[in-house]
Structure 1
């Protein structure tokens, strides 16, 4: 049943967000909420639903989306029974929240978390590397990026690290870490939708990422809620991390921002950074502020040394753009084989690496939680 599967996907996404936000302080409350999710799933399983169009059910904002001509990259036509899709490639279409592969299973939805974990962008070519039939004959796929898109979707606008406020009873955002939000150089207040407010349990002071289509800011969506402590205002945050690097004017001409990370997660961790050799000194300066042990390697080392470094670490961060392709693939595979928490980034900036490391730590926490439950 398509509608049942849609509800299940939404519930799984919210469950992942709950586990991501787990701390010692909220462990008891989170445990009750997680159990409530399973109770809801058991109740829905017994109900009957009328099947509807897959794409309309999975991507509700398509009615507000500008129509863009795209070409699908398909090595073979997908088979009706979903068997034998491994090795086939498809084009990823970025939506306001998450994305979709239209020509796979009638519209295969990729949630926002997976989109972020893989650093997916509109037009990326993805190859299926694994497929599993799970409950109710639903197929779950694993992907790798075959080719990054060379074009930019300027119709979709994303503003990261916005502060939630309340004005006249409405939940709104009107400033981010970059300053006040402006459209056409005029300050603009984005009114958040009720469904996002309830789905993410938003409150005043929360830090979120929002997205909307260029000509339709009234349909803004909250696509991510960051797990940080409450602060009086964004500009008054007393962060321990105060780094800024100005890129060469001939490149992007943009400065790194003070993106928030949960400092307590880094405590006493042994962290390995693979790649990003030309920024190793900057990483050392940044991570010196944290209570961790840091090791960095180029990513060009022989296999035995690479594996030994991974074994010594608690957490592995791989800078894909700077590590040799072969080395990055070998590192990813060895981390998977040894169940070592890791994450990857295509950016070599300090804050990109910090955020990537934080993601890897959270993956490790989730992995241990699943092992305890299982």
Structure 2
């Protein structure tokens, strides 16, 4: 547990979550909670802490970019203290926001950096394939950065209308289900339809790129295994 002056953050009355910088309605927001933190996304949303809109001072000071991972924190007794307190310059390294120079360069149009595949071994499998995303279409553009990095095409469908879904399945090579956006009934229907059409699938639980990329890896591995099995028969 993270300590704060010898106490846990909860003991100190501090709440925080790790989220991703996205662009919505013409401005930057911190959304897409990764699951890290001492408050869940639903609770943070209900109390108005998610999404968090960075101040113009924070955007300039930390050179905030779409796709960056940041920590947002506030005192539970005073939600007005909410602010960005930690910047993750990449997906694995954490750097305190306070050590960044106040003279950081302004964002050059907030253009997101290209995604770097964490599983290059599946690039040959996924290249040229169409991945159908079930649910989470609100964040499809963000997740598309991942499939673009693997030279794949991402399509999406929100409501599981059997006729429409089957039509989209015909053009897809693999299926990924966003369980956090799809009901249990619809997710089961999606899996049944995928099996009926011989489509490999995988699931993920958070609307962030890393969980989605892990699901893509799983779907790709299942796709390759199915292809090998088909060739052997």
Bigger-Rg structure (1/2): 1
Which fold has the larger relative contact order, with Cα–Cα distance below 8 Å and residues 6 or more apart in sequence? 2
What's the TM-score once normalised by structure 1's chain length? 0.31
